[in-house]
Structure 1
């Protein structure tokens, strides 16, 4: 505590005179600008003319080049996507009645994937009867990977609504005054 008072005393000693002395000093002079050539517009015009000038030797070399290209990657991708669509899809097990969210337009899903309704149904059935709906059975039923199914059943829990009864025998109501 004593040190801060002592330091403040030296910091504030003769502060007005020091401030006026700093204000009265001459300001530093700015560094001189780099000299620029006076004919910059002429140089710019020469550069643009050089750019737009036709170079006959380069043009003749360019005319001799012939490029024939085809993309083998795009040709090989098309049959793979058709194979995926044909063989690796399965029909939906469950769907929502009506069309509330546009989910009913979906009729099949890829193997290894679940629709929202199927995921909720699988989670709910495992929660209600974990002995019958084991992770192995859920994986087989929905064509899923066993590791992913175990993770799904471990870390995702469907919503649970709990209604708590009021404590004690009497209920209290707010009275209007």
Structure 2
């Protein structure tokens, strides 16, 4: 309700106010700096103004004689270099029955792991760290040694820890 009233007051007699504002005298232009007076006078000479607005016939003829023809080069099909062709390896382990849409993947590029393989490698290292060293994981899954070390150091899956109560007597909630 309040916005309607303010809009009506704001738009009241709007056209007359606009015409009155337009009819006002324009503000004077700020005076030029005295140092630019010489530059302005140099460009205001009649010879220069005449040469600017005059047609230059020789230049016009030269411009008309120029003909530019451009063609796009034929598109070349992208060819991978021998170094760019990815070597792929078959998955070592995958989930059965397509639970997460991952089973469609049958191979991965060398130097990479699927999520299932990463979890399996972490599990094997956690169970037996002496046999499943970073070097063996790198060899088994075709990884760089630094990637295998980074996997074991920084990729930590969920670790569930059950903290037993301090006392053997536990309180039970009774349903009423």
Q: TM-score, normalised by structure 2?
A: 0.57
What is the Cα deviation at residue 95 of structure 1? 0.6
Match of residue 140 from structure 1: 139
Report the RMSD for the aligned CA atoms in angstroms.
3.2
1:166 CA displacement: 2.6
Q: Deviations over 1:111-166 (max 9, x none)?
A: 11000000000111111111100100000011101011111111222322222233
Unaligned runs of 5+ in 1: 1-31, 36-54
1:33 aligns with 2:27: yes
- Tell me which residue corresponds to 2:98: 99
Q: Which has the higher helix share?
A: 1
CA distance in 2, matches of 1:116, 1:56: 71
Query: TM-score w.r.t. structure 1 length?
Result: 0.57
* 1:71-114, Cα deviation, whole Å (9 max, x unpaired): 78x64x423389624xx111111111111221111111011100
Question: What pairs up with 1:43-62 in 2 under 5 angstroms?
Answer: 61=66
- Number of aligned residues: 122
Q: How far apart, CA to CA, are the structure 2 residues paired with 1:59 and 1:91?
A: 66
